[in-house]
A and B are shown apart, each in its own frame.
Chain A
């Protein structure tokens, strides 16, 4: 990759992070957080994007960010109140910004109409402030004055009329520790200033302590720079663009500076160091905490600037953590290798036990330790892939905003547990099903405002998205406070579509779960929001593909809750190793409820060769795994077998007949699709300790096949 592309990629990665910061800050503001630091964090996020976008020449992006930034600046300086309406606009602006960033990354272009609408709304917020017109120049007609021609020739004797007018600036610059720590260098900044024009630099060294007290990597110096240049102030400021959060900076034109200095002196004749009021705002976070933010005078305690900068970092966008960016491929290679290590370790243990060494022998003990270590390594490696679900959740807040504005509903999204971590693949593949469920909840779940008021509920609907860890899995819930599922209607539709027999006696839960059946869609008219030709069955399949399960519970008038339970990782699995027809298979442990030995009197034949087994007063379909996978043609006598009572993702129970149980162990999942191809009834493969390949059973596929034929037959049996 050429260096420029690499830098660009880093920029876009950082953009993603900044966009997350931006949105979470705005959401905090929406929740009424009026802390200046929150506003500052939001401003910083937008500003950083602008800096990079400018450097890479993404003009469209820069133009929009500029208006956005200006609006935020007004809020920061308390010239514009962050009312709910304003934050709503800002949130939508952040959505547009995300689109623009994506467009810049992918080389496409964003929806110009949407960009224009938001840009105009932002400009409207700016009110009388100077607006940018299309070519990015400040348009004169929006300024509140009439241009008047004044001839200067009579006042000044200008020898060369074409010579650009020069201006004197006084810059006061105090770097914080962070500036040096981020590999910036005052020397370079001053040299760049020197290129703009004539400079005279004064360094204030009074803060330098004796060697014993010196932090060699501290920041003790501050500078006053007199600059005579033809460059505009903007250009002078740009030099400090990438360090402005790590320093105190004021830029004044000399005449204003002198005036202020004189004023200061007349007020405080005894104060020796000049402490002028910075005309330009100090873009330092200390504004939030410093009681006298306009003063540049060096404070008296030891490293106050550094301390403040650290404090601001700590309380602002979360403590700064040392992180590195690693290519995902490398992590995956590492995970693969650790997987091989686990397999290898298992093989080694097996060899040792085959060799007849006692469990107490030093080799066996060493192997136990090795096993423990291997597990630890595996857990640590898995933790590298673990990502908080926050980015996905935050994307949902955008979905809610969009769907709510399309349907004219007012919906509030409450998020819970966004820091819960789960495997990166799971996080990535959650977006689509979650988006669909959120759309569904806003479109169908939450009622229109008038209906809500009539039902005695608050006008604003509430949608709760939460993530929690529960017994080695992650549980994600989408709960709305809408009308709940209209069971009579759901049942009727299912009957009409032939999904269930008309006389079927279903529990409320069973009716609710009908919406996951393929071909079921409650929307009588296809809306362009949730009715995109995909039903909840697609959501269910997506979740199942992740090894998860989904269920719904609903209380009429109170709302519905979709709850998804997903594995934390897709790389390893706890399984029960079984023998079927001479083959070794692995059944995911999460699916198994119990194992039992079928007795002759508990097995009943149904007409069509199907069998059920009576367990705890219910009948459960009995499935011969060997027959399903075509390991044998002859039906087998259940009493000679072991039955695994399993529950599929849909909650359907089934008893799987296997020849024998070998034991439980953690296996490393090897994709069959990647290495061979999809096989029905098989989810993946693994390599056992003896080096043989064992197939991992796809319990859902095994259960679903007969259930599809039996769903009609099954119900009366359950009603018996």
Chain B
């Protein structure tokens, strides 16, 4: 089990490093700690969506733990259900 802690700022500049970091963790069950997220843009959410799709394809679990209000709010605004980025529902 690998845990990746998301940075505070997930704007367009954070998208490539995030994708690289997640790709690095591929092949292992993954927990993404999203408690710090204070700012998030659509492209980082695309990365999270892609990561979830990738882990699902690999048959491995990927969970987003402790999503911050900011992240949940962004997902809601964008009309993206939490289950599209995480296997388990938010514990909130």
Contact = CB atoms under 8 A, between A and B. Distances in A.
A216 B42 contact: no
A205 B12 contact: no
A186 B42 CA distance: 7
A187 B50 contact: no
A187 B78 contact: yes
B5 interface: no
Contacts of A209: 50, 53
B57 to A, nearest CB: 6
A181 B54 CA distance: 25
B49 A187 contact: no
A191 B36 CA distance: 22
A212 B23 contact: yes
A618 to B, nearest CB: 71
Interface string B2-45: 00000000001001101100110010000000000000111100
A211 B12 contact: no
Interface string B55-66: 001000000000
A223 interface: yes
Contacts of A201: 77-79
B50 A210 contact: yes
Contacts of A200: 79
A379 to B, nearest CB: 35
A203 B12 contact: no
Contacts of B26: 211
B75 to A, nearest CB: 9
A211 B78 contact: no
Interface in A538-554: none
A200 B77 CA distance: 9
Contacts of B46: 208, 214, 216, 218-221
Nearest to B77: A190
Contact of B50 (A183, A185, A202, A211): A211
Nearest to B25: A211
A214 B41 CA distance: 16
B57 A210 contact: yes
A216 B43 contact: yes
Contacts of B19: 211, 214, 216
Interface string A167-210: 00000000100001101011100110010000011110100111
A210 B22 CA distance: 12
B78 A214 contact: no
A217 interface: yes
Contact of A187 (B42, B47, B53): B42
A205 B85 CA distance: 11
Nearest to A213: B50
A84 B72 CA distance: 57
Nearest to B14: A216
**Range class of the A interface residue count:** 20 to 34
Nearest to B79: A201
Nearest to B23: A211
Contacts of A217: 12, 15-16, 43
Nearest to A225: B79
A210 B43 contact: no
A225 B79 CA distance: 9
A204 B6 CA distance: 24
A632 B45 CA distance: 83
Nearest to A193: B77
A202 B15 CA distance: 23
A613 B35 CA distance: 92
A205 B49 contact: yes
Contact of B54 (A180, A190, A210): A210
Contacts of B12: 180-181, 183, 217
Nearest to B13: A217
Nearest to B12: A180
Contacts of A186: 42, 78
Interface in A607-626: none
B42 A211 contact: no
B16 A216 contact: yes
User: Which of A181, A201, A202, A208 has most chain B Cβ within 10 Å?
Assistant: A208
A190 B80 CA distance: 13
A362 to B, nearest CB: 47
Contacts of A225: 79
A175 B80 CA distance: 16
Interface centre among B19, B41, B42, B57 (most CB of A within 10 A): B42
A185 B43 CA distance: 9
B59 to A, nearest CB: 13
A258 B18 CA distance: 40
Contacts of A220: 46
Interface string A220-264: 110101000000000000000000000000000000000000000
Given A180-B42, A187-B74, A221-B42, A203 B79 contact: yes
A466 to B, nearest CB: 45
A216 B54 contact: no
Most chain A beta-carbon neighbours within 10 Å: one of B12, B26, B49: B49
Max count, chain B CB within 10 A of own CB: residue among A175, A180, A211, A220? A211
Contacts of A218: 43, 46
Nearest to A212: B23
A214 B47 contact: yes
B85 to A, nearest CB: 10
Interface centre among B16, B50, B80 (most CB of A within 10 A): B50
A200 B76 CA distance: 10
B18 A216 contact: yes
Given A194-B77, A219-B43, 14 more contacts: A180-B12, A187-B74, A190-B77, A201-B77, A201-B78, A205-B49, A208-B50, A210-B50, A211-B19, A212-B54, A214-B19, A214-B47, A216-B18, A221-B49
Ordered nearest first, which 3 A-B pairs have the shortest CB separation?
A: A201-B79, A216-B15, A216-B19
18 contacts: A187-B41, A187-B74, A191-B77, A203-B78, A203-B79, A208-B53, A211-B47, A211-B50, A211-B54, A212-B23, A214-B19, A214-B46, A214-B50, A216-B15, A216-B43, A217-B12, A218-B46, A223-B78
